Structure 1
Amino acid sequence: MRKWGPLVAVCLGTFMLLIDVTIVIVALPDIAGALNASLSDLQWMIDIYALALAALLLGAGSAADVIGRRRMYVVGTGLFAAASLACGLAPGAGWLVAMRAVQGVGATAMFATTISLIGAAYQGRDRSVALGVWGAVSGAAAALGPVLGGLLTQGLDWRWIFFVNLPVSVVTIALTLRVVGESKGGHGGARIDWPGTASFTAFAGLTTFAVIRADEAGWASARTATTFACAAAALVVFVLVERRSAHPMLDLALFRDRSFTAVMVGAFALAGTAFGVLAYTSLWLQTLLGLSPVRGGLVLIPLALAAFVASAVGGRLLHGAPYRLVIGGGLVLIGAGALAQAVLDAGSGWASLTVGLVVAGLGVGLVNPAIAGAALASVPPRRAGMAGGAVNTFRQLGYALAVAVFGTLLTGRMEDSLRDSGVPDPHATARVLAGGGARELLARVPEAQRPAADHALHAAFAAGLDAAAVTAGIAGLVAGAVVLVLVRSKPQAAAPERAVPEPVGAVERG
Structure 2
Amino acid sequence: MSEKMKRVFAFTAIVLGFFMALLDTTIVNIALPEMTKHFGGSVSGISWVMNGYNLAFAVLILTASRLADQFGRRKVFLIGIALFTLSSLLAGFAPSLGALIVLRIIQGLAGAIIVPVTIPLTTTTFPRELHGAIIGIWGAVSGLAAASGPALGGMLMEKLNWQWIFFVNVPLGVLSVILTLVFIGESKDASAGRRVDFAGTLFITVSMFCLVYGLIRVKDWGWTSAAILLFFAAGLLFLLLFLYAERKGAEPMLPLELLKIKVFNGAALTLLIVGAGLMNISLLTSFFLMRIMAMTDLKAGLILSMMAVGATLTSAISGPLSGKYGSRWFASVGILVLAGATYSLGGLSSSSPVSGILLRLALAGIGVGLTMAPVMSAAVRNVPEEKVGISSGVINMTKALGSVLGVAIIVTALQQNLDDKMGVARSSAVQMIRTDAKLLPQVKEALTASLQSADSGGEGGTASPPAPESAAAAVGAQLRAAASKLAPAQREALEQAVPAQLREAEALVGRIGAEMKEAAVKGFSRTFALASLLLLPGVAFALISDRSPRRSEREIPAAEKGTLL
Please point out which of 358, 364, 373 is paired with 2:362. 358
Task: Classify 1:421/1:126 alpha carbon distance in 2 versus 1 (closer, same or farther; 3 Å).
Answer: same
| 1-structure distance, mates of 2:192, 2:268 | 28
State the partner residue of 2:66.
62
Counterpart CA distance in 1 for 2:417 and 2:299 is 27
For 1:4, what is the secondary structure of its paired residue? helix
Match 1:432 to one of 445, 448, 458 = 458
Deviations 1:318-347 (A, max 9, x none): 432212112222222222221221213454
Deviation at 1:122, TM superposition (A): 1.2
**Alignment match, 1:203:** 207
User: What SS does the aligned partner of 1:343 have?
Assistant: coil
Pairwise CA distance, 1:487: 4.9
Q: TM-score scaled by structure 1?
A: 0.91
Which deviations, in whole Å up to 9, do the C-alpha atoms of 1:121-155 show, x marking residues without a partner?
A: 11233222211111100011111000000000111
AA in 2 matched with 1:5: F
Amino acid at match of 2:522: A
Structure 2 counterparts to residues 235-274 of structure 1, below 5 A = 235-274=239-278
CA distance in 1, matches of 2:398, 2:355: 32
Spell out, residue by residue over 1:457-490, the C-alpha distance to the aligned partner (whole angstroms, 9 max, x if none).
Answer: 4334423332332222122222112322575434
Matches within 5 A, 1:76-95: 76-95=80-99
Question: Which whole-Å deviations, capped at 9, do the CAs of 1:141-193 have from their partners, x for residues lacking one?
Answer: 11100000000011100000001100000001101111111100113634332
* C-alpha distance in 1 between matches for 2:194 and 2:546: 30
Q: Report deviation, 1:498.
A: 3.9
| Change in CA separation of 1:454 and 1:198 when aligned onto 2, cut-off 3 Å | farther
Cα shift readout 1:71-128 (whole Å, capped 9, x = no counterpart): 1111001100111112111111111111100000111110120111111111233222
Report the Cα offset of residue 352 of structure 1: 4.0
- Take 1:487 and 1:180, find their aligned partners in 2: how far apart are those partners? 30
1:477 corresponds to which residue?
Answer: 536
Alignment partner, residue 514 of structure 2: 455
1:346 to 1:495, Cα distance in 2 relative to 1, 3 A: closer
The amino acid of 1:16's aligned partner reads: M
- Bigger mean CA deviation after superposition, 297-306 or 428-437: 428-437
Asked whether the equivalents of residues 267 and 545 of structure 2 are also in contact (C-alpha less than 8 Å), the reply is no
Distance 1:18 1:476, change over 3 A: same
Q: Structure 1: which 5+ runs fail to align?
A: 501-510
Q: Is the 8 A contact 2:261 2:559 kept in 1?
A: no
Residue 437 of structure 2 corresponds to none
Corresponding residue of 2:527: 468
Change (3 A) 1:163 1:404: same
Alignment partner for residue 166 of structure 2, among 162, 166, 173? 162
Partner of 1:382: 386
CA drift at 1:442: 8.3
* Deviations 1:270-320, CA, capped at 9 Å, x for gaps: 221123231242233223322222211111122110100111122344432
- Deviation (angstroms), 1:349: 5.1
Measured in 2, the distance between the counterparts of 1:311 and 1:223 equals: 41
1:42 aligns with 2:106: no
Q: Is the 8 A contact 1:442 1:453 kept in 2?
A: no
C-alpha contact (below 8 Å) 1:410/1:465 kept by paired residues: yes
**Whole-angstrom distance in 1 between the partners of 2:76 and 2:536:** 36
1:334 matched to 2:398: no
User: Take 1:234 and 1:442, find their aligned partners in 2: how far apart are those partners?
Assistant: 55
Query: Considering only CA atoms, is the larger Rg found in Structure 1 or Structure 2?
Result: 2
Q: Could you say if the C-alpha distance between residues 228 and 189 of structure 1 is closer, same or farther in structure 2, counting changes exceeding 3 Å?
A: closer
How far the C-alpha of 1:18 sits from its partner, in A, is 0.6
Q: Determine helix, strand or coil for the equivalent of 2:24.
A: helix
**Aligned pair 1:493/2:548, yes or no?**
no
1:75-474, aligned counterparts within 5 Å?
Answer: 75-187=79-191, 189-348=193-352, 350-423=354-427, 429=455, 432-434=458-460, 438=464, 448=506, 449-474=508-533
Question: C-alpha separation between the residues in 2 aligned to 1:152 and 1:469?
Answer: 30
Give, as a single letter, the amino acid of the residue that structure 2 aligns with 1:72: V
1:362-405: CA deviation from partner (whole Å, max 9, x where unpaired) = 12112222222222223222222100101111111101111121
Q: Distance in 2 between matches of 1:185 and 1:433?
A: 50
Q: Which secondary structure does the structure 2 equivalent of 1:297 belong to?
A: helix
Whole-angstrom distance in 2 between the partners of 1:485 and 1:65? 27
CA distance in 2, matches of 1:334, 1:264: 18
User: In 2, Cα distance between the equivalents of 1:195 and 1:256?
Assistant: 22
Q: Distance in 2 between matches of 1:431 and 1:45?
A: 23
**Is residue 270–residue 545 contact of structure 2 (8 Å, CA) maintained in 1?**
no
Q: Structure 2 vs 1, CA of residues 496 and 429 (structure 1 numbering), >3 Å: closer, same or farther?
A: closer
**Aligned twin of 1:17:** 21
Deviation at 1:67, TM superposition (A): 1.1
* Partner deviation per Cα, 1:9-63 (whole Å, 9 max, x = no partner): 1111111111111101111111110111311122111111111121111111111
CA contact (8 A) 1:346 1:455 kept: no
Contact kept, 8 Å, 1:283 with 1:436, in 2: the verdict is no
Query: CA offsets, 1:245-285, max 9 Å, x none?
Result: 22222233333333222111111012211232312422332
Paired residue type of 1:465: F
Q: Is the 8 A contact 1:285 1:350 kept in 2?
A: no
Structure 2's unaligned 5+ residue stretches are: 431-450, 475-504
Do the aligned partners of residues 316 and 236 (structure 1) sit closer, same or farther apart at CA in structure 2, a change above 3 Å counting?
A: closer
Distance between the aligned counterparts of 2:104 and 2:517, measured in 1? 33
Distance in 1 of aligned mates of 2:401 and 2:74? 25
> What amino acid does structure 1 have at the position aligned with 2:171?
P
The 8 Å contact of residues 202 and 234 in structure 1, kept in 2 or not, is answered as yes
Compute the RMSD of aligned alpha carbons: 2.6
Maintained 8 Å contact 1:70/1:183: yes
What is the deviation of 1:235? 1.4
Secondary structure of the corresponding residue to residue 192 of structure 1: coil
Higher mean alpha-carbon deviation, 190-199 vs 60-69, is at: 190-199
Aligned 8 A contact 2:85 2:173 in 1: yes
**CA 1:442–1:55 in 2, change beyond 3 Å: closer, same or farther?**
farther
| Separation in structure 1 between the aligned mates of residue 86 and residue 468 of structure 2, nearest angstrom | 42
The alpha-carbon distance between structure 1 residues 346 and 292, as it changes in their structure 2 partners (threshold 3 A), is closer
- Structure 1 residues 59 and 444: CA distance shift in structure 2, 3 A: farther
Give the structure 2 partner of residue 507 of structure 1: none
User: Is the 2:148–2:304 Cα contact (8 Å) retained in structure 1?
Assistant: yes
In 1, Cα distance between the equivalents of 2:370 and 2:239? 32
Distance 1:48 1:467, change over 3 A: farther
Distance 1:340 1:194 in 2: 48
1:181 is paired with a residue whose SS is: coil
Amino acid in structure 1 at the alignment position of 2:334: G
Match of 1:53 in 2: 57
Judge conservation of contact 2:135–2:373 (CA < 8 Å) in 1: yes
Contact 2:61–2:397 (CA<8 Å) still a contact in 1? yes
